[in-house]
Amino acid sequence: MTDVSRLPGAIRHQWDWQLDAACRGVDSSLFFHPSDERGDARQEREEQSKRVCRSCPVRTACLLHSLRAREKFGVWGGLGEQERRALLASRQRRGRRWRSAARNRTAGRGRTAA
């Protein structure tokens, strides 16, 4: 028999939010575009999927999952692919500015007044 004593515990709590998702049971093609979909058809499908997300009690958890997992495709937490990319890029820029400012503050601490 396999020894599972060293395996991490159940991680069910990390996925339980999906049980309450408004999209549960909805055809997933509403949230993921076909490769040949363009223009108005894509925009309309995406808007329909976002309407489902607007009423979702776990929208924030869904969005956070998609950002952590760097989901490249589909509508997650009410945001489309381009919106999530822009949000991640914005967070990266803010992070770089914050780290730079912190380095500047830290560098100034070791100086003595002349």
- Residues contributing to the annotated binding site: 23, 53, 56, 62
Label residue 50 exposed, middle or buried (CB < 10 Å: 0-12, 13-18, 19+): middle
Cα(33)–Cα(3) distance, rounded to whole angstroms? Answer: 43
The binding site for [4Fe-4S] cluster consists of 23, 53, 56, 62
For the record, the structure tokens of 101 come out as 């400012």
